[in-house]
Amino acid sequence: MSAGDTHTLAEAVLSGSRRALARLLTRVEQAQPDAQDALSFLFPHTGHAHVIGITGAPGTGKSSLVNALAKAYRQQDKTVAIIAVDPTSPFTGGAILGDRIRMQDLSGDSGVFIRSMATRGNLGGLSRTTRDAIRVMDAAGFDIILVETVGAGQSEVDIVRTAQTTIVVEAPGLGDDVQAIKAGILEIADILVVNKADRPGATNTLRALKTMLELGHPTSRTQTTHHHGQLMAVEKPVTDTEAAFWLPPIVETVAVTDTSGTRGIDNLQQAIASHQAYLSDGPARAQHEYQRIEIELYERLQQTLIHRLRQQLSPDQLRQVIDRITARELDPQAAVDLLLESPSLEKTSSDVLQLPLSGS
């Protein structure tokens, strides 16, 4: 495909073609060199969508929630794009097949666009591809972009950082109450959901989450203190700086529709809207966006620099350096300095900012 074709494709995306959108997403996913041109072209048209990340342990009901949320947004006439990121299974994987079936009742609605991304062996890195896919969807004009990832490792945390609002989903009956929640995942939550509230144990999960939040969050209203040798809970006074913090609300939901119908989806939508309002209020927004872009920039710089180095160093050079470290002639940091100073690399530092960021 020529640069002109990519341009046409990107323009078709802007004018609302779903076919062009699907084709461009494939190019982005495969890290095709010309995809970068399209991304650059589309970038000025991004920044309008509200990107909502939904993460949590496997089977907590993320896809079911995405489905319910998408329907609720459609009822408000908002257009919705969905990205289900599966870091492990191949494209035909069971999880994604399951998602397709769960989200079937959304198909046929042109205001909804669903994309699964199975990214094992992905060329450009999982979080970068996800970010790029989100940007394409954003440029395509969707109001809401829902990104589902399994909250299991660092890469998922990275993906979630792409979102403006992050929802961490917990459910009862996944082992020892809150054990299923990794501390790192909890920290990134803007909203906590206890899904499967119809199941026994939901109250325990809710209570455990509340305790964890109250102990761990900077805006926590209650603090424990020792008083005459007894542990007591005390209320902290509200200060101005604290008012600028966001205390993650906990929302109970039932996401399945088969028997009793869904529950709490409206509350979840309200929590999302409140978070969006909080974000669009002055300093919080600027800070949030700055952080997200900073993370992305470092990630791209890192990938590009490493790629550039790999291209310029021969495997022999690398092997020699490793041998010298093994022989204790060089320490690893001195080796890094040496490699960066190598004459063949002189161009690297000055050229890096002009490099295309596709990394391919």
Ligand X SMILES: Nc1nc2c(ncn2[C@@H]2O[C@H](COP(=O)(O)OP(=O)(O)OP(=O)(O)O)[C@@H](O)[C@H]2O)c(=O)[nH]1
Coil, helix or strand for 117? Answer: strand
Number of Cβ within 10 Å of residue 182's Cβ equals: 16
The interface partner of residue 201, options being ligand X, Mg ion, none and the CB cut-off 5 to 8 Å by kind, is none
CB of 98 to Mg ion, least distance (A): 7
CA distances (Å), 40 to each of 280, 285, 357, in order?
Answer: 25, 23, 10
Report the distance separating Cα 93 and Cα 99, nearest Å: 10
- Name which of Mg ion, ligand X, none residue 102 binds, using a CB cut-off of 5 to 8 Å depending on partner kind: ligand X
| 356 is a site residue for ligand X (CB under 6 A) | no
* Contact stretch for ligand X (CB under 6 A) within 192-200, 220-228, 269-277, 282-290: 192-200
Q: Which pairing describes strands 165-170 and 191-194: parallel, antiparallel, or unpaired? A: parallel
x/- letters, 150..169, toward ligand X (CB under 6 A) = x-------------------
CB-nearer residue toward Mg ion: 64 or 79: 64
How many chain residues bind Mg ion (CB under 5 A)?
Answer: 3
**Cβ–Cβ contacts within 10 Å for residue 256, how many?**
19
Query: In the chain, at which residue ranges do the beta strands (DSSP E only) sit?
Result: 50-56, 80-86, 112-118, 144-150, 165-170, 191-194, 222-227, 230-235, 250-252
Among residues 52, 150, 53, 134, the alpha carbon closest in space to that of 94 is found at 150
Give the number of other CB atoms < 10 A from CB of residue 160: 24
Q: How far is the CB of 74 from ligand X (least distance, A)?
A: 18
What would the two tokens of residue 325 be? Answer: 């470290």
Instruction: Give the one residue of 63, 149, 165, 166 binding Mg ion; rule: CB under 5 A.
Output: 63
Cβ proximity to ligand X: between 13 and 194 the closer is: 194
Identity of the amino acid at 12: A
Instruction: Tell whether residue 95 is a contact of ligand X (CB under 6 A).
Output: yes
Binding-site partner at residue 116 among ligand X, Mg ion, none, CB < 5 to 8 Å by type:
none
Size of the site for ligand X (CB under 6 A): 18
Q: Least distance to Mg ion from the beta carbon of 54, Å?
A: 9
- Please tell me whether residue 165 binds Mg ion under the rule CB under 5 A: no
Contacts with ligand X by CB under 6 A lie at 58-64, 95, 98, 102, 150, 195-196, 198-199, 254-256
Contacts with Mg ion by CB under 5 A lie at 62-63, 99
